[in-house]
Amino acid sequence: MEGSELSEVSYKKDLGVWVSSDMKCSKQCLHDFNKATRVLGMIKRTIRFKDTRVMQSLCKTLVRPHFEYCSSAWNPHYIKDKQLIEKVQRKFTKMIKNMEGKSYEERIHCLRLWSLEERRNRQDLIVVFKMCNGLSRLKLNELFTLDKNNRGIRGHSWKLAKFRCTRDCQ
């Protein structure tokens, strides 16, 4: 551009989300994990009354937004990234009094929480719902193709076509 050569970068931060040249979100997951862990550490050091309601409120307002901001764009695919993110909620649920000795599944059930992966899946479904009903600037046909073969659909015509993609497809 104008006589200067553009440098190649492997990662770029755009609107608060780390994007890699290969479209993997490991750096975003690690960044959010580190940020949320620091916030959890601050909560652990400063809050003495670790009642369930107080801790849940703190987690929902201070920790969870790091993982939910723009998660439809960077939703992790690899198990290691999903486990890294879920590790923060595991640490949080251990900090609440009367949760010692229970498994993670028991803790989130007692606290009436969803796993962070379930929350991301729900957010993805909400985005698709908004696209289907015209509540989003993105149109459904920009990202998805409706299945033309409507056999076997129970009561609706919103079945999305699923295409197999190999490394050769463009």
87 pLDDT band, cuts 50/70/90, is: very high
Query: Domain spans of the chain?
Result: 11-136
pLDDT of residue 9: 65
Q: 33-53 pLDDT, tens per residue?
A: 999 999 999 999 999 888 889
Residue, of 74 and 80, whose pLDDT is higher = 80
The burial of 68, by beta-carbon neighbours within 10 Å (0-12 exposed, 13-18 middle, 19 or more buried), is given as middle
Residue, of 158 and 127, whose pLDDT is higher = 127
For 70-104, the three-class secondary structure string (H helix, E strand, C coil) is CHHHHCCCCHHHHHHHHHHHHHHHHHCCCCCCCCH
Query: Under a CB-based contact definition with an 8 Å cutoff, are residues 84 and 33 in contact?
Result: yes
Specify the range with the lowest mean pLDDT, choosing from 81-85, 86-90, 142-146. 142-146
The burial of 19, by beta-carbon neighbours within 10 Å (0-12 exposed, 13-18 middle, 19 or more buried), is given as middle
Average pLDDT, the chain: 82
Report which of 79, 69, 77, 72 is spatially closest to residue 31, judged by C-alpha positions: 69
Q: What's the rounded mean pLDDT across residues 119-137?
A: 88
Query: Under a CB-based contact definition with an 8 Å cutoff, are residues 6 and 53 in contact?
Result: no
Whole-model pTM above 0.75? no
**CA dihedral (149, 151, 157, 158) positive or negative:** negative
Query: Under a CB-based contact definition with an 8 Å cutoff, are residues 25 and 81 in contact?
Result: yes
Calpha distance 69→57 (Å, rounded): 18
CB atoms within 10 A of CB 65: 13
Three-state SS at 139: coil
Q: Which helix (H) or strand (E) holds 140?
A: helix 140-143
